[in-house]
Amino acid sequence: MNEPIRRLSAVVLLLFFTLMAAGSWVQFVKAKQLGDDPRNVRTLYKQFGSFRGPIIVDGQAIVSSVPIDDPFNYQRTYTDGPLYAAITGYYSIGPGRSGLEASENSLLDGSADALFWTRLGELVAGTQQQGASVELTINAAAQKAAFDALGNRRGAVVAINPRTGAILAMVSTPSYDPATLAVHSSADANRVYQSLLSDQTNPLINRAIGGDTYPPGSTFKLVVAAAALQAGYSPDTLIDAPQELSLPLTTATLKNYGGESCGPTGKITLLEALRISCNTAFAKLAMDLGWPAIESMAANFGWGSGLNIPLGVTPSRLPVSPNQPEVAQSAIGQFDVRATPLQMAMVAAAIANHGVLMKPYLVNKVRDPDLRVIEQTTPEKLSTPMSPDAAAALTVMMQAVVKNGTGTRAQIDGVSVAGKTGTAETGLHTPPHTWFVAFAPAENPTVAVAVLVENGGDIGSEATGGAVAAPIAKAVIEAVLANAAGGN
C-alpha cells in the first residue's frame, strides 16, 4: 500500500501548491486591482483611516482628525463647520472632497512630495503616516463678523489684507456643516449630500469665488474711474452727467437709479459722479474713454484670469467687443460684466495698496507633523493696475462715497473708510444684487473687503448696496481693526 500512499502524498503536495499559487494570485498579483475596486470599502478605510493634518485658523484647529473606535480609526471633525465651510470644504466617504480638503489633500494626508523625508522617518520608526497641518491667513474675528452680518441671506464676503494679498475672511451663505458629510456611513453621507444638492439655496456653492459670478453693478465704476484717472482725468475733472443718456445706435436711454438727476448743470466732477454713483456720467465717460481702456484696466485687476488661492477661482468675465451702448451698460456693471466677490475685493485691495495688486492667498504656512515649516507663502505681486497717484485720487473719491455719498452706512467713528456701493439689476421682477466694496483706514489700509448680498437679501426691490451691503462691510472692517488693535 505504500506506493499509492506516496502517490497520494504527491497529490497532496500538488493540492497545497495550487493553494499557495492561488493565495499569491489574490494577495500579490491581483491585490492592486482588488484594492482599487470601488466596492472595496477597505480602500476607503485606508484612505480615510489615517491621521489627517489639521486646518488651523489663528492658532486654533478648525478642522482636525480625532481617534475614534471604528474601522476608520479617525473622525474628521469641524469646529464651527458652517462658518468655515466655504474655505475648508468637506472630506467625506460619500461625495469625496472639496475646498481646501481637496486642494491641500496631499499635504493633509501626508502623501505630498514635501513630506517625503517625514514619511521616510515614519517608515523607519514604524509609525503611521501623518499629514501636515495647514495654517490659514483667515482672521477668525473677521470671518465670524462677516458670517454673522450676512445672517441667513444668500451672499458672500471676502476680506483681504491689501498689502500682502492674505485673505482675512471668506464667507458664503447659506452654508452647511461639513461634519454632516464626514459621517462614517456612506449611505448617510450621500443622503446629506443629495439633500444639500437639491437645496434651492445652493449651500454647496462657494459664492465668494466659485460657480456663479454676479453683475458687479456700480462697483464696476471703480474700474472705469481707475481707467479715467490713468487716462489723465482728475477727481475734479468735469464730466457729462445728463438726467437721461440716449444711447447711440438705439432708441433706448440710460437713467440713474430712481430716474434722479445727477446735478442741475448736467456736468459734475468725477469725484461727485462716484460719490452719488451717477450712472449717466459713467456711461458717457466709458464711451468717451473707449472700451479698450476699460478692458485693459479690468484685466489688470484680474478679470478674465483664473486664480488658485489655492482654491480654484472662477474667472470674472467682460463682454467681448461691445458696441457703444453695450460699453455704456458695461460701465455701470451691467450687460455682460460679471465678477466674483473676490474679484471686487481685489479691486478694492489694489486701490488701497497704492495701485499694486497682490496675489490673494489662503494658506499661510504648512507644517509637517513635527511642526517644522515646510511651506510658507510669500506675498506676490500680481499686477499694477494704476499709478500711486491715481490710486490716491480714487481713495479720496471712495472716502467721499462713505463720508456723504451712497455708502454712509459704512461709516466708522474715528476711522476713514473708503468704499463704493453697487446695486445690480438682475431682471425685471427680481430684486437687485447689492454690493459694497471698501477698505480702511483710508490713509493706511489694512483691510479691503467686498460684500455681495444676492437679490437684496430680505428687503426686496428697495435694496441698495448702501442699505444692505455697506453695514456688513462695516462689521467686517470693524472686526479686523479691533482685532489688530487688540493684537498689538
Partner 1 sequence: MATVLAVSVRVGRRSEAVLLVFACAIALGARAFVDANAGGGIGASLGIYSIAVIALAVAAHTVVRLRAPAADPILLPAAFALTGLGLAIIRRIDFAYAARGRVTHFADAQEVWAVVGILGAMLVIGLLKDHRLLRRYTYTAGVLGLVALMLPLVPGVGREVNGARIWISLFGRSLQPGEFAKIAFVIFFAGYLVSNRDTLALAGPKVLGIRLPRPRDLGPLLIVWAAALLVQVAQRDLGASLLFYGLFVAMLYVATQRISWVIVGLALFAAGAVAAGTIFAHVAARYDAWLHALNPSVYNSGKSYQLVQGLFGMASGGLFGTGLGNGSPGLVPFAESDFIVPSLAEELGLTGLMAVLALYLVMVQRALRTAIGVRDGFGKLIAVGLGFSMALQIFVVVGGVTRVIPLTGLTTPFLAYGGSSMIANWIAIALLLRISDLARASATDVPLRGASAPADTARTALASAPGVEENTVEENNVEEGTVPVPDGATDAVAERKAAR
Instruction: List residues with catalytic annotation.
Output: 218
Least distance CB 74 / partner 1 (angstroms): 14
Least distance CB 38 / partner 1 (angstroms): 10
**Distance between CA atoms of residues 435 and 450, nearest Å:** 7
Q: Which three three-digit cell numbers place residue 413? A: 467713528
Nearer Cβ to partner 1 (125/320) = 125
Q: Are 262 and 278 in contact (CB under 8 A)?
A: yes
Residue type, 253: T
Beta bridge mates, 253: 246
Please tell me whether residue 410 adopts helix, strand or coil conformation. Answer: helix
Residue 372 dihedral angles phi and psi, to the nearest 5°? -75, 140
Identify residues 114-153 at the interface with partner 1 (CB under 8 A).
none
Identify residues 16-75 at the interface with partner 1 (CB under 8 A).
16, 18-20, 22-28, 30-35, 37, 39-43, 45-46, 69-71
DSSP one-letter string for 198-253: T-TT-TTS-TTTSS--B--GGGGHHHHHHHHHHTT--TT-EEE--SEEEPTTSS-E
Q: Give how many residues touch partner 1 by CB under 8 A.
A: 39
**Distance between CA atoms of residues 162 and 325, nearest Å:** 34
Give the contact letters, 364-403, x = binds to partner 1 (CB under 8 A), - = no: ----------------------------------------
The helix/strand count (H/E) of the chain reads as 17, 21
Q: Are 419 and 436 in contact (CB under 8 A)?
A: yes
Question: Is the bond into 248 cis (omega within 30 degrees of 0)?
Answer: no
Beta bridge mates, 307: 313
Residue 4, interface with partner 1 (CB under 8 A)? yes
Q: Are 334 and 424 in contact (CB under 8 A)?
A: yes
Residue type, 83: L
Q: Tell me the pairing of strands 433-440 and 418-424.
A: antiparallel
Nearer Cβ to partner 1 (12/66) = 12
Nearer Cβ to partner 1 (22/482) = 22
Nearer Cβ to partner 1 (128/195) = 128
The closest alpha carbon to 389, from 357, 355, 358, belongs to: 355
The closest alpha carbon to 360, from 385, 380, 340, belongs to: 380
The closest alpha carbon to 332, from 286, 364, 297, belongs to: 286
Give the contact letters, 70-109, x = binds to partner 1 (CB under 8 A), - = no: xx--------------------------------------
Least distance CB 41 / partner 1 (angstroms): 7
Nearer Cβ to partner 1 (45/335) = 45
Least distance CB 31 / partner 1 (angstroms): 4
| Cα 328 off chain centre by | 29
Nearer Cβ to partner 1 (27/376) = 27
Nearer Cβ to partner 1 (9/461) = 9
Please tell me whether residue 449 adopts helix, strand or coil conformation. Answer: strand
Neighbours of 438 (CB within 10 A): 33
Read off the DSSP letter of residue 174. Answer: S
Least distance CB 180 / partner 1 (angstroms): 21
Least distance CB 355 / partner 1 (angstroms): 58
**In which residue are the cell numbers 451702448 written?**
325
Least distance CB 8 / partner 1 (angstroms): 6
Residue 183, interface with partner 1 (CB under 8 A)? no
Nearer Cβ to partner 1 (46/372) = 46
**Distance between CA atoms of residues 355 and 390, nearest Å:** 7
Least distance CB 150 / partner 1 (angstroms): 41
The closest alpha carbon to 170, from 54, 89, 79, belongs to: 89
Binding site for partner 1 (CB under 8 A): 1-6, 8-9, 12-13, 15-16, 18-20, 22-28, 30-35, 37, 39-43, 45-46, 69-71
